[in-house]
Structure 1
Amino acid sequence: MAAGFRGGFLAVALAALVASGGAAHAAKCGNDGGGFEAWKAAFTEEAKAAGVKRGGLSALAGARYATATIKADRGVKKAFSGSVESFMQRRGASTIISKGRSLKKSNAALFDRIERQYGVPAGVLLAIWGMETGFGSYMGKQNTVSAIVTLAYDCRRPDFFRPHALAALKLIDSGALSANSVGAMHGEIGHTQFLPGNVIRYGVGNRDLRNREIALASTANFLRGHGWKPGAGYRANMGAIAGWNAAKVYQQAIAIMAEAIDK
């Protein structure tokens, strides 16, 4: 899941922010690390008002300004540039399709069970899984809390990332994450790279998305929650795929690979 392009905010966190009388606006954003620690102090009060407990607050206190995350965020547009064909070539689409077909066959019972429960076929789940982490071979090495808190502070898209930062802290309180958890550059988590707010909203079971079965079922639940129409085909479900990632080349690549995997 390429960061910053996923839909869905954490409803409970937003409600808590409204109830706190607009505390979200007390903390000012920044374009470098110079004001990060002062911002964290203000954000700590916001987090308390949103219901974050001791574990989450401790993780927030230990968060560091993630320079690598900012660098990656500034390169997002370039990552989704060019034609669908060039994007698919860069991302190894032929390998994803080949391995996706193999995994679909060897895990038929799992994918059948997920489709029965959520109405989402194997192809799109495998295409996303392959695109995001190479089927779990690389789930990132950036500290999740530092990454998502840095993006909540950064002036580029603070309103988008602030609810996800609060969600990450709540996931620490619940035990689904730890202060030392690592993932992708924008704070995405697990096999299919969920942003923290979406883990809370769409994660199933114990929400441990390092477990591939939970991650795949959660991804199906996300797509269903974004309007997936069972049996309607991929072209008819581009809106649900767009909920996962707003980049057109990504959406088209996922649909193409999904169809090829299912064939």
Structure 2
Amino acid sequence: MRLANFLTTACLVTAAFAGAINTANAAQCGNTSAGFASWVDEFKAEAAGNGISPGVLNSAFANVTYSPATIRADRGQKSFKLSFEQFMQKRGGNAIISRGKGMKKNNAALFSKIEQRYGVPAGPLLAIWGMETGFGGFLGNEHTLSAVATLAYDCRRSDYFTDQLYAALQLVANNSLSTSARGAAHGEIGQTQFLPRNVVKFGVDGDGDRRIDLVHSKADALASTANFLRGNGWQAGAGYQPGEPNFGALTQWNAATVYQKAIAHIGARIDGE
């Protein structure tokens, strides 16, 4: 999976994607695999009516199938119901802190550059990076377009993931997302696990090679994560613990309270607070 040749200027949406999406005749959602094939046909007709080219649609959906693994993951996020102490133990919080301190030291120039540009220190970025993929060690093995399409079809959060699917189609149209790409169970992409819409909105070139590759470039992934936080209200120099100004930006990364607190705690330990 590569997000190659996705220049910063290419974040500007093409006319086909810039217009308001018409969902008046939205494809009918479902809660089992039985209706998925019909939904795909209905969605493709809807998307074509919204200006998505047949070539993009046919290419994007050529290998899309209903993903039971994605549904199981979506229904089984039990760790978010744990206590803070249980969550830290289950997710290896102390190991992330220990390794994160070394990663901060070994990548000091990169984190300094990111903080100067976006106002976000190393700690929370390393906490997210470590929590999401073990610092890039495992990015997931689910077919990205199948995962996003499955959740767009599923009635639980159909509207939210339909928007993610349109964003994924934009990335396919820009040659920024391979139709064979694999990642996390909800369609997240890259070393810090960006959903497609966040790639479109916040993806940036962090290593200066004039492309955005959240999979293979840690600089791109970390700079994009900092850009996400800044775009969600991060204030340079302010604190990010619960009750402090920047904690609100962390809450936009993940809706689970225990996850938010863990990121704030891990980040502070890495930053030496």
**Same-fold call, TM > 0.5?**
yes
Deviations 1:56-94 (CA, angstroms, capped at 9, x unpaired): 442124210001100111112x12012111101100011
In the TM superposition, what whole-angstrom CA distance separates every residue of 1:236-260 from its partner, at most 9, and x where no partner exists? 2111000100110000000000000
Residues 123 and 262 in structure 1, CA contact (< 8 A), matched pair in contact too: yes
Structure 2 counterpart of 1:213: 219
Partner of 1:68: 69
Aligned amino acid, residue 111 of structure 1: F
With structure 1 as the length reference, what TM-score do the two structures score?
Answer: 0.90
Aligned to 1:177: 177
Deviations 1:119-150 (A, max 9, x none): 00000000000000000000000000000000
Cα root mean square deviation, aligned: 2.0
From 232, 250, 258, the equivalent of 1:241 is 250
> Quick one: structure 1 residues 11 and 79, their matched pair in 2 at CA, closer, same or farther if it must change by over 3 Å?
farther
Which amino acid counterpart does residue 213 of structure 2 have in structure 1? Answer: D
Displacement after TM superposition at 1:48 (Å): 2.2
Q: Distance in 1 between matches of 2:123 and 2:38?
A: 46
Query: Which of 229, 233, 239 is matched with 2:235 structurally?
Result: 229
How far residue 22 of structure 1 moved from its aligned partner, in angstroms, is 2.9
Contact 2:192 2:222 in 1 (8 A): yes
- Report the CA distance between 1:16 and its aligned residue: 5.5
| Counterpart secondary structure, 1:26 | coil
Identity of aligned residues (%): 55
8 Å contact from structure 2 (residues 239, 247) kept in 1: no
How far is the alpha carbon of 1:12 from its aligned partner?
6.4
Could you tell me the TM-score, scaled by structure 2's length?
0.87
Contact kept, 8 Å, 2:93 with 2:266, in 1: the verdict is yes
Residues of 1 paired with 2:165 and 2:110: CA distance? 32
2: CA distance, partners of 1:70 / 1:204: 30
Contact 1:56 1:172 in 2 (8 A): no
Q: Structure 2 stretches of 5 or more lacking a match?
A: 1-10, 206-210
**Is the alpha carbon distance of 1:172 and 1:12 closer, same or farther for their aligned partners in structure 2, counting shifts above 3 Å?**
closer
Distance 1:244 1:58, change over 3 A: same
User: How many residues align structurally?
Assistant: 251
| Distance in 1 separating the partners of 2:128 and 2:110 | 16
Aligned residue in 2 for 1:258:
267
CA distance in 1, matches of 2:17, 2:127: 36
